[in-house]
Structure 1
Amino acid sequence: MEFAGALRQAIQASGLTLERIRHRLAQRGLTVSVASLSYWQRGRSRPRSRAVVATLEEILRVPGGSLLELLDDPVPGAVPARGGLAGGRGGAVQQPSSGGQAGADRELWPDPERYARVVGQLDRSGDHRVERLSVHDLYRLGPDRRPRALAVREVLRATGDDVDRVVRVHPVEDLAPGPGPRLEPDLAGLRYCRPGRVRAEGGLIGFELIFDRVLASGDTVVIEYELSRPAAEYERRFPRPVRDYLAVVQFHAEMLPARCYGFAREGGGAPRRRLGELWIGASGSAHLALGDVRRGIVGIEWEWE
């Protein structure tokens, strides 16, 4: 039996309304809309959170795992995850429906094949069903002029039901192997989300951020995280529009640059176009604030004495 049919039978046998099921899920800290429940039992979509399905089994009083094992069956058009990944939700990883968008994302990176390998190991099924309302970055440098950390805060809004995660990719310092173990950039400072799979390769890190609740269409969520050892240059890639973008570069008080500029470029190999000189204030920081950023790359560059 397919998942939708099994869920529909279980709901009918329980005698519970969809609103009552929604309420009981909410009591357990799981936010699922009535519309999502309706879509699931009619086969229009599938849950993307195994925690939700396991809780549904309890609420509907069906044998444990009876719905989960049906959820694991690949759906038509699903693309299996590569690399035999451990952890996560299991089953097939569905990629965004638009192959053109995936190709466009790759064009923003200097090594598209490496980018494709990293994100190919991650679940990007939620990426095309959320919009970024705001992105705020704080990029910090030390007294040796080297980057110390990149702190990120984003506000997202779901444009579809059943969204529980997004994938983020950043360039990082590529540390050559030495006599000891190789050091990978740390993902820390997470708030309002938790990490899923993390993959790093040759100066690139990609990771899943799992929300603290499952989003229905129109729901908003805040995510915060911090990366150690970001790339030596600061720039942001925007494969999709962002309404509000703020970048702050914080220099060390003992090592301030002579000049600082904002810049933009269209793709990974395109030349930079300067947006103007940025003021370095008494706090030793410079910032770039933009509204309605479209697809492309935006960043901040500086010149030392």
Structure 2
Amino acid sequence: MEFAGALRQAVQASGLTLERIRHRLGRRGLTVSVATLSYWQRGRSRPRSRTVVAALEEILQVPAGTLTELLDDPAPTAVPARAAAGRGGPPGGPGPGDRGRTARDLWPDPERYAGLVGQLDRSGDHRLERLSIHDVYRLDEARRSWTLSVRTVLRAAGDDIDRVVCVHQTAAGHEDGRAGGGAAALAGVRYCRPGRVRAEGGLMAFELVFDRVLAAGDTAVVEYELGPAGEPPSDSYDRRFPHPVRDYVAIIQFDGGRLPARCYGFTAESSHAPRRRLGELWVGTSGSANIAAGSVRRGIVGIEWEWH
């Protein structure tokens, strides 16, 4: 369950009004308005203070951790998503995940991931709603380099949000931490500007600063490209979702007329969990295959292919 739903249920079960909850928080020296409490339980914004949420657990008489454990990740479970896999593909999406699973588990090296994103400003990430993410992944004819084009549509669920953090696996990492092949570069940034960029061991994390500061309800569109880069992934491309997204589309473009024998959509709950195939994808005369998934809550969605 998401934080908003858990809070809403706890408030209803307690029988307390939001005004009474505000008053009891105030007696503990914690100032939270009724409007803010309402936003929290409707999912329009999220609390940033664990102290306040711990106090809410006591006031609402729910077990410790019931609400605070949901703060670390906006979507601590994965639910099935309906996917349209190319032409006539079956529905599918990330399956049920463990409650304790975190965003770090989506990456092969969780410590490296945490170290990179920890250097960036993620204060607004949990207050951004991902309306859509569209990826176009292009593999060259020689299968030696790739480029990625991304368009993301976001909506603010709170005020004073000026950036979003993006993370990609850009190359296979070596044991000594070096990235293999030609490292990808961030380019083609539109409707925003690059902030801090950090890369290590095949991972790249960066900030995209919006062209204006968002207030609650405002939307932003960001576009960017990665590549060209050498050492493509082992015959697959995937997107990792630490935050929910309403609509996800991935297109794989095989350049030069050299097409794979088969393409499949897949999902996984974490980096080390087994992949679940969604069915075979059609590779059209354009040399491309696509997968579309709606209401992805948590996990990994991708496309894998087999060569002749």
Normalized against structure 1, the TM-score is what? 0.65
Report the alpha carbon displacement of residue 99 of structure 1 after superposing the two structures with TM: 3.5
Which gives a bigger RCO, structure 1 or 2 (Cα 8 Å, sep 6+)?
A: 2
> What is the letter of the counterpart of residue 220 of structure 1?
T
Deviation sequence 1:28-87 (CA, Å, 0-9, x none): xxxxxxxxxxxxxxx98xxxxxxxxxxxxxxxxxxxxxxxxxxxxxx999xxxxxxxxxx
Q: CA RMSD in A?
A: 2.8
SS, match of residue 173 in structure 1: coil
Count of residue pairs the alignment pairs up: 213
CA contact (8 A) 1:263 1:272 kept: yes
Report the alpha carbon displacement of residue 175 of structure 1 after superposing the two structures with TM: 7.7
Aligned to 1:152: 150
CA contact (8 A) 2:191 2:221 kept: yes
The CA distance in 2 between the partners of 1:76 and 1:258, in whole Å, is 52
The CA distance in 2 between the partners of 1:126 and 1:235, in whole Å, is 24
Report the alpha carbon displacement of residue 268 of structure 1 after superposing the two structures with TM: 1.0
SS, match of residue 262 in structure 1: strand
Normalized against structure 2, the TM-score is what? 0.64
Q: 1:76 to 1:220 in 2, by over 3 A?
A: closer
Is 1:282 matched with 2:264? no
Aligned to 2:199: 200
Q: 1:274 to 1:147 in 2, by over 3 A?
A: farther
Deviation sequence 1:264-304 (CA, Å, 0-9, x none): 01011000000010000000000001111121100000000
> What is the letter of the counterpart of residue 99 of structure 1?
D
Aligned to 2:63: none
The CA distance in 2 between the partners of 1:294 and 1:147, in whole Å, is 30
Report the alpha carbon displacement of residue 110 of structure 1 after superposing the two structures with TM: 1.3
1:13-24 residue pairs with structure 2 within 5 A?
none
Aligned to 1:98: 71
Greater Cα radius of gyration, structure 1 or 2: 1
Aligned to 1:222: 221
Q: Which runs of 5+ in 2 are unaligned?
A: 1-30, 33-47, 51-69, 77-100
Deviation sequence 1:219-268 (CA, Å, 0-9, x none): 00100000012852310111121111110000013311000000001011
User: Quick one: which of 108, 113, 119 aligns to 2:106?
Assistant: 108
CA contact (8 A) 1:145 1:255 kept: no
The CA distance in 1 between the partners of 2:154 and 2:201, in whole Å, is 29
The CA distance in 1 between the partners of 2:155 and 2:202, in whole Å, is 30
The CA distance in 2 between the partners of 1:144 and 1:256, in whole Å, is 11
Q: Which runs of 5+ in 1 are unaligned?
A: 1-42, 45-74, 78-96
The CA distance in 2 between the partners of 1:76 and 1:223, in whole Å, is 29
CA contact (8 A) 2:257 2:287 kept: no
> What is the letter of the counterpart of residue 72 of structure 2?
G
The CA distance in 2 between the partners of 1:278 and 1:243, in whole Å, is 21
The CA distance in 1 between the partners of 2:171 and 2:105, in whole Å, is 21
CA contact (8 A) 1:261 1:276 kept: yes
Report the alpha carbon displacement of residue 146 of structure 1 after superposing the two structures with TM: 2.9
SS, match of residue 260 in structure 2: coil
CA contact (8 A) 1:175 1:183 kept: no
Is 1:254 matched with 2:252? no
Q: 1:302 to 1:115 in 2, by over 3 A?
A: same
CA contact (8 A) 2:240 2:299 kept: yes
Q: 1:111 to 1:175 in 2, by over 3 A?
A: closer
CA contact (8 A) 2:183 2:202 kept: no
The CA distance in 2 between the partners of 1:130 and 1:194, in whole Å, is 17
Runs of 4+ in 1 over 6 A off after TM superposition: none
CA contact (8 A) 2:170 2:183 kept: no
SS, match of residue 256 in structure 2: coil
The CA distance in 1 between the partners of 2:151 and 2:189, in whole Å, is 10
> What is the letter of the counterpart of residue 298 of structure 1?
V
